[in-house]
Structure 1
Amino acid sequence: MAKQNLYKPFEIEFKQQERFPPSVKSNNFFELIYIVDGTGVQYVNKNKFNYRKGNLFLLTPHDQYSFDILTATRFFFLRFTKFYLETKKGKDKEAVQQVAYIIKNASHRPGCILKNKADKPFIASLIENILQEQTNQQIYFGKITEQIVDTIITVVARNIALKLPKNVKESTGEPVLEILHYIQENIFEPKMLKAENLSKHLGISLSYLGRYFKKQTGETLQDYILNYKVRMIEIRLLNSDMRINEIAHELNFTDESHLNRIFKKLKGMNPSEYRKKNALPGNTFIA
């Protein structure tokens, strides 16, 4: 499958479609897709999500996705590279880099990215302002558009940060965010998640790594990895038709019973019960 590339720092596009191109897309850049109007189903990797007006999706590099449009949909696309924020200059460069690291920690999070209720009308207003600037094209419209784009990305980062470990704040140091990114990138590779490999990759001594991570996040490394896997199980239970033994194999549990035991300990019910209780109407999945 051919990758789509981006040759500008960022790119915006408004498009109304009654049918989404049938091919599965995959990018070498980040892409925010906002639903201005319309309904349908978003497919990303092995998950699906019923979309509607006001949903905002973040697709990370190499995600494979498509849309099944049920009613004519107006899309807003914002595409940007991982270097867009990292290369910005100015006195707020350190804060900007923090946002970039948080954005890169968005791996494996399908569905609407807006978790903070107050941000939903805020995002709608920002996107409407971009549309006005692009339509009117008055003096400085390009600079104003760029500033609005930066604000949208920062709001997205805030919503991602809501799902990070409880002690991780905007001011949290770069090394711990790099650890989180490394774990998420290698979650399917148990050998890569061993403390020895983490220590070597990050240039942090093995004896200091565990203490540092616990101090910065409020969780041990092993607890974070396990909790992250459970969040991934939840996503697959609610947004895919994967069987539980397939999920166990994908996430490197010993077997289905091992996954069931861990999931019930942390969530208070087994995966089949969780899927039945929480699945969206119209989603019928096999346990």
Structure 2
Amino acid sequence: MNRYTLQEVLVVNQYSFDQWDTSLTDQNYFQIIFVNSGKGYRNSNGIRLPYQANNIFLSSSKHKNKFEVEEHSKFTYFRFTELVLSGGVNLPERKSWLKRIEQLLHQPSIVPGDVISFEDDREIVWDLHNLVIEEFKSEKVYYQEIIANAISTILSIMVRNISSKHTTIKKEVPYTNNKIDQILSHIRQHVYDNNKTKISFLAEKFTMSQSSISTYFKRKTGDSIHQYVTKYKMKLVEQRLQHTDLTIAEIAYQLGFTDESHLTKTFKKHFTVSPKQYRNSYSET
């Protein structure tokens, strides 16, 4: 089995320019973009929003970024390659990174603007940004562990901030499209915890009866809550089968299935083949 290093999984680049460099492309699995200085506009898949110093953006391989620079700007990119999905990555925090990145990527829509809602969190993230840069430069003893822990904290803070945009705490939320976004966001955030995706838990959290939330969810999405959770888990299983060397049993454990047999039975209902057959056919293409 191949083993990959931190530098192959996480690439850190800094750019400084007066005009956008058209050679920059977004071919990585996921990236965090820090605006160190300057101002202008960020255009991401047709959405044009202003940027300024201390903004923090997220981007996936599906997003095409372009910055219209009005004032000399400096950016730092934390780029996560697809190797973050591989079980061959021998980093202590890889599973935590993957879990948090999946939570960020599978929000109702990845946030096109600045991702930080709480200014005290912004200060923490920027301090960690500086720590990661220094550790990459110095490569002192334990630098990989320090960077891995710092990245985990950054990603967790981002999940907290983005979730706050979709969640209203301790008050009833009106029946609007925003409410279904909040329910979907909660499910995606807690898909690893079966108890928190149960109808009873969701009904209590969103101050609805179990029958009301079931009917509302079905009307808005076309699926029952159970169907939606299962379909979402199948997407994550697909991703792991395609890009990692995790065993079927390991994938089942990660995603809250009873055992390998339970996962295999569910997977075959959706794809007509077993997870092993799916992985083998994908590797042959």
The bucket for the TM-score relative to the shorter chain is 0.5 to 0.7
**Matched position secondary structure for 1:162:** helix
Q: Which has the higher helix share?
A: 2
Instruction: State the AA in 2 paired with 1:66.
Output: K
* RMSD of aligned alpha carbons: 3.8
Could you tell me how far apart the structure 1 residues matched to 2:92 and 2:124 are?
26
Structure 1 residue aligned with 2:190: 172
Assess if the C-alpha contact under 8 Å between 1:24 and 1:64 holds in 2.
no
Assess if the C-alpha contact under 8 Å between 2:11 and 2:80 holds in 1.
yes
Instruction: State the AA in 2 paired with 1:172.
Output: H
Structure 2 residue aligned with 1:233: none
Structure 2 residue aligned with 1:104: 105
**Deviation of 1:172 (Å):** 2.9
Kindly indicate whether residue 217 of structure 2 is the aligned counterpart of residue 221 of structure 1.
Answer: yes
Structure 2 residue aligned with 1:193: none
**Deviation of 1:223 (Å):** 7.4
**Matched position secondary structure for 2:165:** coil
Structure 2 residue aligned with 1:117: 119
1:157 is matched with which residue: 156, 159, 174? 159
**Matched position secondary structure for 1:110:** coil
**Matched position secondary structure for 1:118:** helix
**Matched position secondary structure for 2:53:** coil
Compared with structure 1, are the counterparts of its residues 132 and 96 closer, same or farther at alpha carbon in structure 2 (3 Å cutoff)? closer
* CA offsets 1:3-46 (integer angstroms, 9 cap, x no match): xxxx9222111222222123684434111100111111100011
Assess if the C-alpha contact under 8 Å between 1:213 and 1:221 holds in 2.
no
Instruction: State the AA in 2 paired with 1:45.
Output: N
Q: Count the aligned residue pairs.
A: 188
**Deviation of 1:170 (Å):** 9.7
Assess if the C-alpha contact under 8 Å between 2:49 and 2:113 holds in 1.
yes
Structure 2 residue aligned with 1:76: 76
**Matched position secondary structure for 2:119:** coil
- Extract unaligned runs of 5+ from structure 1: 1-6, 180-208, 226-287
Assess if the C-alpha contact under 8 Å between 1:33 and 1:76 holds in 2.
yes
**Deviation of 1:173 (Å):** 3.6
- Extract unaligned runs of 5+ from structure 2: 1-6, 169-182, 207-212, 222-285
**Deviation of 1:164 (Å):** 3.6
Structure 2 residue aligned with 1:27: 27
**Deviation of 1:50 (Å):** 0.8
Same amino acid, percent of matched pairs:
17
Could you tell me how far apart the structure 1 residues matched to 2:217 and 2:123 are?
36
Could you tell me how far apart the structure 1 residues matched to 2:106 and 2:188 are?
13
**Deviation of 1:132 (Å):** 2.1
Compared with structure 1, are the counterparts of its residues 119 and 102 closer, same or farther at alpha carbon in structure 2 (3 Å cutoff)? same
**Matched position secondary structure for 2:117:** coil
**Matched position secondary structure for 2:103:** helix
Structure 1 residue aligned with 2:51: 51
Structure 2 residue aligned with 1:42: 42
